[in-house]
Amino acid sequence: MDSVELVTGFPVFSRLSAAELARVSAAAVPVTFAARQRVFSEGEQAEGCWLIHDGQVALDVFIPGRGLV
């Protein structure tokens, strides 16, 4: 799958011109995460942005007095 194919089909990119789509696609890199792998935690510096092609993502939130929920 080439980099343009990685981002096409996502509604958020549907109004981009071909040049803009090419620019966004140039940064696209396919990655795979293991089941239950934590990708990032609240408060950490962002290291990337992910478009989910397949699978599921769980989000947890720290609530004072309750911990991660």
pLDDT in tens, 13-62: 989 999 999 898 888 888 899 999 988 888 899 888 888 888 999 998 88
- Amino acid sitting at position 48: G
Give the model confidence (pLDDT) of 30-39 as tens digits.
889 999 998 8
Burial of 36-67, coded b for 16+ CB within 10 Å and e otherwise, reads: eeeeeeeeeeeeeeeeeeeeeeeeeeeeeeee
pTM, two decimals, is: 0.66
C-alpha to C-alpha distance for 33 and 4, rounded to whole angstroms: 21
